Amino acid sequence: MPADEPGPSAGSAPVDPGHSAGSAPVDPGHSAGSAPAPRLGPSDSRPSRPPQTSLDDIVAASSATEVPVDTETGRFVTGVDLRAQDIRSGDLFAALPGSSVHGATFVGDALERGAAAILTDSAGLEIVREKYTPLPVPVLVHDAPRSVLGTISALVYGNPSEHMTVIGITGTSGKTTTSYLLEAALTAAGKVTGLIGTIETKIAGSRVPSALTTPEAPRLHALFAVMREHGIDTVVMEVSSHALSLGRVDGTVFSVGAFTNLSQDHLDFHDSLEDYFQAKARLFSGDSAVHTRSAVVCVDDVWGKRMAEIATTAGSSVVTASVSAESDWTVSGATTNDDGSQRFTVVEPGGAQHPASIRLPGRYNIANAVLAVATCAAAGVDVDRAIAGIATVDVPGRVQRIERGQDFLAVVDYAHKPAAVEAVIETLKAQTRGRIAVVLGAGGDRDTGKRALMGAAGARGADLLVITDDNPRSEDPAAIRDAVAAGAQAVDPLVRGEIRTVAGRADAIADAVQWARTGDVVLVAGKGHETGQEIAGVKHPFDDRQVLADAIDRRIDAESGETS
């Protein structure tokens, strides 16, 4: 279950310094056969030559009210952040109200690190005044400071998104895969790309540490500025519903927006599925400050059809893509190879046909691929060069095979939504004549209504469903397992497989591995690329790919010992 995305709290879960035992490691950071991208340090997340922005300009852009100071201070800022521990000298500290504590509580830390000014609300101003008389730096007061933070951040970093082609991808499933396909396609077409997403942030191929699918506005616009310094001309970014609702992408100029699909997720944050949809629609709606200039919409579901109508009403240039419905961009002649790779023909709006292939299995990945190609075309990229680029893409933790010499198929996938679980099971069933075991759970402190649906999706598709822990977070793991199991048990016994509940994710994975016979499939779903498991507020190192590989190795070693 992903961490996305209540972000950021004043101190996330601490990391257990221990680590899981393992033999030969599985590389978690990149796809098989690719070279690991070099990693940039935290200092590389800020531009090296930030402009100086006057407080007068910030006040004018945000309609904030300045509370001046009695002493002579600087009237310029060179950065902005909302985490006091990340403030640098000359920054504007955005002290926002939080769910449990007000950001102004940490003003002392921000000032010690060199904050030159503070943005907050009236409650925050009172907290600052209680600590400091007179005020040590100017304070900008706004009734809703988060609502203007994106605009201010963009201004402070020189409005960098205006100088690049920014492509935003939103939807429930497929954002990460589509972003990887797009990055590869754009690179093949000669673009210098940046990537911002769930798995990683990359600047011209170099990785930057990241925590959220879509960073908070100050970090996002700083990244844009860094990318511009590095000569990036095109940015591909995943845009989460949290980011759109909380204003994280405010101030961003989107050249192209792409929509994948919609299914139940994040109803712990959104009031309803309709509210969730309307959050996504901010990228396309005419009354939104961040609506895209050009829209590419997958219309394989009713939500996509609605989104295309919204974008059209907004006056955007709109094209549609689909593998199953009438649309501008379509596919034909799809075939699947023994290794799961697929060949198909992309048909563009004028009828021209382009042979294409992807390494990724599943019809839903053909939908992701045609959406990526159509998005490249909307960005002015040659279609054939884009198609050449997507042919070799692998995505970490997305239908990722674990090969240890075993005689059954072992796969790790990020599927953590009922529809995604159903889709990946269907894909794997099409690739084997054997049985399928599915290991899954559900995340704590997240959408509780999804838990029974996850269990039902697994029970309907699997010959063996092993229910276990995902990221329990602050909740009782047993209670979450029980909720998932209730959904599984509610499935008609005539159509469901065997159901087991195993506490402890590593034990559950080992159980499924021991069950498998020649030609079977073991699918470990829910965490994909993640390298930690959060239990009772502590994040323990845990990588499904490594744990699955270790379980297979132990089985092979045991069988070798028996036959030697």
Measured distance CA(496)–CA(500) in Å, rounded: 12
Measured distance CA(469)–CA(459) in Å, rounded: 16
What six digits make up the tokens of 369? 């691929």
Q: How many domains does the chain have?
A: 3
Cβ burial, residue 144 (10 Å; 0-12/13-18/19+): exposed
Amino acid at site 162: E
473 labelled as ligand-binding? yes
Cβ burial, residue 157 (10 Å; 0-12/13-18/19+): buried
Q: CB-based contacts of 351: which residues, under 8 Å, 6+ apart?
A: none
Which pTM value belongs to this model? Answer: 0.85
Predicted confidence at residue 258, as pLDDT, reads 98
389 labelled as ligand-binding? no
Q: What is the DSSP string of 163-189?
A: GSEEEEEESSSSHHHHHHHHHHHHHHT
121, 155, 189: which is the final residue of a domain?
Answer: 155
171 labelled as ligand-binding? yes
Residue 8 lies in a domain: no
Radius of gyration in angstroms for the set of CA atoms belonging to the chain, rounded to a whole number: 24
244 labelled as ligand-binding? no
280 labelled as ligand-binding? no
75 labelled as ligand-binding? no
Measured distance CA(526)–CA(479) in Å, rounded: 18
Contact 140, 59 (CB under 8 A): yes
User: Residues 261, 322: one domain?
Assistant: yes
173 labelled as ligand-binding? yes
Compute how many other C-beta atoms are within 10 angstroms of the C-beta atom of residue 209: 12
Predicted confidence at residue 79, as pLDDT, reads 98
| Sheet bearing 294-298, strands edge to edge | 206-208, 201-203, 193-196, 234-238, 165-170, 256-259, 294-298, 317-321
342, 361, 391: which is the final residue of a domain?
Answer: 391
User: Residues 121, 186: one domain?
Assistant: no
131 labelled as ligand-binding? no
Contact 359, 367 (CB under 8 A): no
User: Residues 406, 367: one domain?
Assistant: no
Predicted confidence at residue 147, as pLDDT, reads 96
Q: Say which CATH number the domain at 136 has.
A: 3.40.1390.10
494 labelled as ligand-binding? no
Predicted confidence at residue 210, as pLDDT, reads 65
Assign 473 to helix, strand or coil: strand
Residue 10 lies in a domain: no
Q: CB-based contacts of 114: which residues, under 8 Å, 6+ apart?
A: 87, 88, 89, 90, 91
User: Residues 433, 360: one domain?
Assistant: no
187 labelled as ligand-binding? no
User: Residues 449, 386: one domain?
Assistant: no
Q: Say which CATH number the domain at 340 has.
A: 3.40.1190.10
User: Residues 275, 371: one domain?
Assistant: yes
User: Residues 384, 407: one domain?
Assistant: no
Assign 346 to helix, strand or coil: strand
What six digits make up the tokens of 305? 């059809």
Question: What pairing do the DSSP bridges indicate for beta strands 76-77 and 117-120?
Answer: unpaired
Predicted confidence at residue 74, as pLDDT, reads 72
Per-residue pLDDT 10s for the chain (564 aa) are 444 444 443 333 333 333 333 344 554 444 433 444 555 655 578 999 999 999 999 999 999 999 988 777 678 999 999 999 999 999 999 999 998 999 999 999 999 999 999 999 999 999 999 999 999 999 999 999 999 999 999 999 999 999 999 999 999 999 999 999 999 999 999 999 999 998 899 998 888 766 677 889 999 999 999 999 999 999 999 999 999 999 999 999 999 999 999 986 656 666 799 999 999 999 999 999 999 999 999 999 999 999 999 999 999 999 999 999 999 999 999 999 888 899 999 999 999 999 999 999 999 999 999 999 999 999 999 999 999 999 999 999 999 999 999 999 999 999 999 989 999 999 999 888 899 999 999 999 998 999 999 999 999 999 999 999 999 999 999 999 999 999 999 999 999 999 999 999 999 999 999 999 999 999 999 999 999 999 998 999 999 999 999 999 999 999 988 654
User: Residues 478, 498: one domain?
Assistant: yes
Contact 416, 446 (CB under 8 A): no
User: Residues 145, 170: one domain?
Assistant: no
476 labelled as ligand-binding? no
176 labelled as ligand-binding? yes
Rounded to 5°, angle at Cα 403 from 401 and 406: 120
How many H helices and E strands in the chain? Answer: 16, 26
500 labelled as ligand-binding? no
471 labelled as ligand-binding? yes
State how far Cα 43 lies from the chain centre. 22
Contact 501, 485 (CB under 8 A): yes
Residue 144 lies in a domain: yes
Contact 399, 340 (CB under 8 A): yes
174 labelled as ligand-binding? yes
Residue 530 lies in a domain: yes
Residue 34 lies in a domain: no
Q: At what angle do helices 175-188 and 383-390 cross, to 10 degrees?
A: 120
| E strand or H helix that includes residue 486 | helix 477-489
**Which residues span the domain enclosing 480?**
400-562
In DSSP terms, 342 is beta-bridged to 336, 358
292 labelled as ligand-binding? no
User: Residues 360, 456: one domain?
Assistant: no
User: Residues 409, 333: one domain?
Assistant: no
Question: What pairing do the DSSP bridges indicate for beta strands 53-54 and 256-259?
Answer: unpaired
User: Residues 315, 428: one domain?
Assistant: no
Q: Say which CATH number the domain at 459 has.
A: 3.90.190.20
132, 155, 178: which is the final residue of a domain?
Answer: 155
109 labelled as ligand-binding? no
Residue 13 lies in a domain: no
Measured distance CA(84)–CA(72) in Å, rounded: 23
Count of all residues that appear for the chain in the document: 564
Residue 225 lies in a domain: yes
Compute how many other C-beta atoms are within 10 angstroms of the C-beta atom of residue 302: 10
Q: At what angle do helices 273-281 and 302-313 cross, to 10 degrees?
A: 40
Residue 551 lies in a domain: yes
Nearest to 411 by CA among 299, 517, 523: 523
What six digits make up the tokens of 505? 């994710």
Q: CB-based contacts of 545: which residues, under 8 Å, 6+ apart?
A: 26, 28, 397, 400, 402, 412
